[in-house]
Structure 1
Amino acid sequence: MADLQDEPHSVGIGAEDVPAPSDTAACALERAAALLSVHPVADGCNTLVWTLRQSPYHDIDKPGDSGVDTDLPRLRAGGVGAQFWSLLTPHGAGTPTGQVVSDTLEQIDVALALIRRYPDSLCLALTADDMADARNRGRIASFLGPVPGEAVTDSLGPLHAFHALGVRILAPAGAPWAQQDLTAFGHEVVQEANRLGIVLDLTGCPPTAARQIATASKAPVVVSNTAAAALNPHPGNVTDEVLLALREANGLAMVTFDATRTGDSLHAVADHVDHVRAVAGPQGVGLGAAFGTERGTSRPTGLTDPSGYPHLIAELLDRGWPEADLALLTWGNAQRVLRDAEFTSRAAHHRRSPSS
């Protein structure tokens, strides 16, 4: 596909030859759809598993009939080719560790049941190759995670068990070993996650802990559900300092579609995507919408469900984004992080025995 610079330009055209705004928008939307057919969206965060655990009657095979903002027809209409299914639960401070572990295992069970229920649309993915294979077979690659770091108690055993069950993303936020500073055991968790090929998700981590984890990890880290604090100082948004640390570590910040964090319009979300790209670099920005909730969640106009993705891509095309950068935003950056994590895992297996 050609970049914007390759588009033909006319000289001396009259006003009657200039496309009307609606024609221009339609052209950008067509280009967005064409791009997504080759480089679909790898969405870094969807909380549907938690929603289905609370309300299991939802049928996501029926368009708009599920009562949630995510269903298979809208995922396909939005060009979603890979989905990271969040397995986090809204635990409050002081929740017993056993409850966190139990709830996490239930979330994994619900996620696997979801994938089994829709085999023509979803398939479990463990690797970057699985991600590409699912796309080539017309399926949505389904990654399990993140799971909460709190579920990795004071032992690496739970981390090994989660990996065996198919989990490939871990979120340290809230874990006692990743508070303001990364503890000695926290360093062990990071090393073991690297050895297993589990990606570390810094969403919700305090800035100091986020920088320490990004530095300690030999594999790239991600922030799967965030926006730019420079544009909106929401506590869940990342600072430019963290974005620069992600750039240094070849990590990835995935922009959310939560209106409280980005603003209430598609244009505002595009501003956040622009800012993250400017600070973290074209290889440091992705998309993690955090869909999967029941109706009523605050969403930006035009991005109320996954079918809105082509409109965001069209907006970025209108802003002059090269198609090569858009391909990184939607698909390439997420796949690179997974491949780098797998490479780090293979190297670690050659260097050292499993941690105790």
Structure 2
Amino acid sequence: MKYCAAFLPLALFALHTGPAAAQTPEEVAAAALEAVPVWDGHNDVPGELRDRYRNVIADFDFTDTRVNAPDHPADRAMHTDLARLRQGKVGAQFWSVYVSANLAEPVAVQTTLEQIDVTKRLIARYPDDMALAVTADQVEAAMAQGKIASLIGMEGGHSIGSSLGVLRQMYALGARYLTLTHSKNTPWADSATDAPSHNGLTGFGKDLVREMNRMGMLVDLSHVSEKTMQDALDVGKAPVIFSHSGARGVNSHARNVPDSVLRRLPGNGGVVMVVAYPAFVKEEVRQHFADRAGEEARLAALWPGAPDKVTDGLADWDAARPLPGSTVSDMADHIDRIRMIAGIGHVAIGGDYDGIPIMLTGMEDVSGYPALFTELARRGYSQADLEKISFRNMMRVMRGAEAYAASVTDMAPIETPVPE
């Protein structure tokens, strides 16, 4: 085939420049996060406000928390503030009103109310940057005004005191998800990290899922046992979330979601909001902590009544065995796995910042999300894929929960007798 003389310069130019529309991974990620920012499923700033400031926040500066609070050294600097949320392209955030699972239920209820209160007071202090959101429409409206849509999530079923009445009142106060358990079983649901006592959900636990669906409150299955996950999927009529979990096919921690559950997500419509905690993300880190716990138990058995020897021996063990590194790429592996098993429509983000003691290299705080999305683009994720992961999948889930609730407005609240 012969080219005419006029065409030759254009052909040579194309050989040297390549496709005009080609974008770098950084550009693909930036375009996605500009179109729709990150909707993060779990951040523990409210817990930090309690631990550091006893919920007295009149002098707390959320614009930049890298200046450490009194009595907190540099390695305990907070992961979150308004400046870094903006850098991280976070446009919607579920703030976790976590309280300890060791609390008696009545105390847990009171403490949760206090955490809802401090979260609302924090949001109200920054009206130019944050807006409380309790519906999908309010999330969109806040973001349209350039504000971070701020939602409330309750972490642990102990926070409702085994009462559907308390659950309904928490919803009325603005809580829009409940994690069914935390680290321990509740009287009606098994946790992933406690010895099973109910074989999943009890009858009350199943009624609780039904009542949450009736109201439009999201069922969060992070922290629960595999059987509890399955029971909730069997009973539920609305999409579920895992607010901060990984894929068990990548890291075998019980906190992560097994393939058997991932396969059910397309039928349910729910999402796994992938966590950034190295112990849940990288298997070598999980194994390291297990080995360390074993060494600590061995030293305690060798030196009963001599805690200094245990401390010194553990320090020697730590010095000889540094923690394995973990990076943004390790987190991306979980997204790959969930996409492979459940599909691109069932992946979202739930970093767990300010609730984790160690971080991924490259994602040390909430400003790191663009690095994750760049890594995903480097792996071949399209802008449309990234937009689903950052925001659109979670928006679909919330609208799905609201749509189901709207379809059953004639359903009466589920009643259970209070204790005598």
TM-score norm. by structure 2 comes to 0.76
Q: Which residue of 2 aligns with 1:120?
A: 128
**In 2, distance between residues paired with 1:265 and 1:18?**
32
Q: Which of 27, 39, 43 is matched with 1:42 structurally?
A: 39
Task: Say whether 1:178 aligns with 2:240.
Answer: no
Q: Which residue of 2 aligns with 1:60?
A: 62
Partner SS, residue 145 of structure 1 = strand
Task: Say whether 1:239 aligns with 2:301.
Answer: no
How many pairs align? 335
TM alignment of 1:262-301, pairs within 5 A: 262-263=281-282, 264-293=326-355, 297-301=357-361
Q: Which residue of 2 aligns with 1:3?
A: none
Partner SS, residue 286 of structure 1 = strand
Q: Which of 215, 221, 232 is matched with 1:196 structurally?
A: 215
Q: Which moved more, 1:32-41 or 1:158-167?
A: 32-41
Contact 1:147 1:167 in 2 (8 A): no
Kindly tell me: are residues 11 and 170 of structure 1, through their superposed partners in 2, closer, same or farther at Cα, counting changes over 3 Å?
A: farther
Q: Which residue of 2 aligns with 1:78?
A: 88
**In 1, distance between residues paired with 2:122 and 2:222?**
24
Q: Which moved more, 1:177-186 or 1:276-285?
A: 177-186
Q: Which residue of 2 aligns with 1:347?
A: 407
Contact 2:32 2:384 in 1 (8 A): no
Write out per-residue CA displacement over residues 197-243 of structure 1, whole angstroms, 9 at most, x where no aligned residue: 10010011100011110221111001111111111111211111121
Q: Which amino acid aligns with 1:169?
A: Y
Kindly tell me: are residues 11 and 183 of structure 1, through their superposed partners in 2, closer, same or farther at Cα, counting changes over 3 Å?
A: farther
Q: Which residue of 2 aligns with 1:6?
A: none
Q: Which amino acid aligns with 1:261?
A: F
Q: Percent identity?
A: 37
TM alignment of 1:250-269, pairs within 5 A: 250-263=269-282, 264-269=326-331
Unaligned runs of 5+ in 1: 1-9
Query: Greater CA radius of gyration, 1 or 2?
Result: 2
Partner SS, residue 168 of structure 1 = strand
**In 1, distance between residues paired with 2:65 and 2:166?**
38
Kindly tell me: are residues 11 and 193 of structure 1, through their superposed partners in 2, closer, same or farther at Cα, counting changes over 3 Å?
A: farther
Write out per-residue CA displacement over residues 250-269 of structure 1, whole angstroms, 9 at most, x where no aligned residue: 11101111111113111111
Task: Say whether 1:28 aligns with 2:25.
Answer: yes
Contact 1:253 1:286 in 2 (8 A): yes
Contact 2:216 2:402 in 1 (8 A): yes
Contact 1:146 1:201 in 2 (8 A): no
Contact 1:255 1:286 in 2 (8 A): yes
Write out per-residue CA displacement over residues 75-119 of structure 1, whole angstroms, 9 at most, x where no aligned residue: 011110000011122323xx3111111111111111111111111
Q: Which residue of 1 aligns with 2:267?
A: 248
Contact 1:244 1:280 in 2 (8 A): yes
**In 2, distance between residues paired with 1:257 and 1:82?**
17
Contact 2:28 2:383 in 1 (8 A): no
Q: Which of 378, 384, 391 is matched with 1:324 structurally?
A: 384
CA positional deviation for 1:276: 1.1
Q: Which moved more, 1:117-126 or 1:180-189?
A: 180-189
**In 2, distance between residues paired with 1:38 and 1:304?**
24
RMSD after superposition? 2.1
Q: Which of 141, 144, 147 is matched with 2:152 structurally?
A: 144
**In 2, distance between residues paired with 1:42 and 1:99?**
31
Q: Which moved more, 1:185-194 or 1:72-81?
A: 185-194
CA positional deviation for 1:64: 3.2
Q: Which moved more, 1:66-75 or 1:148-157?
A: 148-157
Q: Which amino acid aligns with 1:64?
A: R
**In 1, distance between residues paired with 2:174 and 2:355?**
23
Contact 2:335 2:347 in 1 (8 A): yes
CA positional deviation for 1:247: 2.7
Kindly tell me: are residues 121 and 12 of structure 1, through their superposed partners in 2, closer, same or farther at Cα, counting changes over 3 Å?
A: closer
Task: Say whether 1:158 aligns with 2:138.
Answer: no
Q: Which amino acid aligns with 2:219?
A: L
Q: Which amino acid aligns with 1:238?
A: V
Write out per-residue CA displacement over residues 113-145 of structure 1, whole angstroms, 9 at most, x where no aligned residue: 111111111111011111111111000111111
TM-score norm. by structure 1 comes to 0.89
**In 2, distance between residues paired with 1:287 and 1:312?**
10
Partner SS, residue 335 of structure 2 = helix
Write out per-residue CA displacement over residues 15-45 of structure 1, whole angstroms, 9 at most, x where no aligned residue: xx689xxxx9x93223322221111000001
**In 2, distance between residues paired with 1:147 and 1:204?**
9
Unaligned runs of 5+ in 2: 1-11, 54-58, 69-76, 191-198, 283-325, 416-420
